[in-house]
Amino acid sequence: MRLLKIAIVVAGLCAATAFASPAAPRNGAEYTTLKTPQAVQAVGKKVEVIEFFMYHCPACYALEPDMLAWVKKQGDNITFRRIHLPLTGENDPEAHMFLTLEAMKLEEQLHAKILSTWHVERRRLKSDADNIDWAVKNGIDKEKYTAVYNSFSVMTKLKNAGRVASTYEVNSTPTIIVDGRFSTNPSAVDAANPGQIPRAQLNQATLQVLDALVAQSRK
């Protein structure tokens, strides 16, 4: 009888794996549900989508073109924003630059340039001095940038960035949060479909999961 029970459990697990699919994602596999849902900034029927990323992250850079195309395709279905994961804590220079440019309403405009600096030019912006030098060379007034960089508002957000990531249960990038409730990332999608998704198609598979989560959130 015990062997029969074990066989049934194993068969069930195999069946669950067989039916795993980015187009029909399963909770606990291609995505997870946050233990504590978070408030969203989206209004009306729009679904909030947040990408947790890091400028230096190769997987974030690889996802960027597909992610932008997906956001454009979603149109008024979603509101999209980014949050920079503070890898080195309260003094993380990358998150510091992100928050500064966000406060100056320049982050979206310069996002691609910063990624290109890291991943095409291979220039590492690893300090406050690197960030300020980059900003000036890209047409930002040094005095204005430095004032915002050192402002109480930005420093407070930088100090709290780790706590924000923790509330969303994020510890790696890229991680995408949908409707303040659902979390997914390419690694989870890959792990839920072992050997089934070619590496070149993993980003598109992740976006299929996002399609399903947005649709689920809109119901």
pLDDT tens digits for range 156-191: 999 999 999 999 999 999 999 999 999 999 999 999
CA dihedral 27, 173, 147, 112 (to 10 degrees): -110
* Residue (of 168, 145, 208, 156) closest to 83 by Cα position: 168
Q: Which CATH number describes the domain made up of 89-168?
A: 3.40.30.10
**CATH class in words for 25-85+170-219:** alpha beta
pLDDT at site 20: 58
How far apart are the C-alpha atoms of 165 and 33, rounded to whole Å? 15
Bridge partners of residue 52, in order along the sequence: 83, 175
Angle between helix 128-137 and 93-103 (nearest 10): 40
CA dihedral 180, 183, 185, 188 (to 10 degrees): 180
CA dihedral 76, 82, 83, 88 (to 10 degrees): 160
pLDDT at site 44: 85
Lowest-pLDDT range, 7-21, 38-52, 60-74?
Answer: 7-21
Q: Are 168 and 52 in contact (CB under 8 A)?
A: yes
- Which part of the chain is CATH 3.40.30.10? 25-85+170-219, 89-168
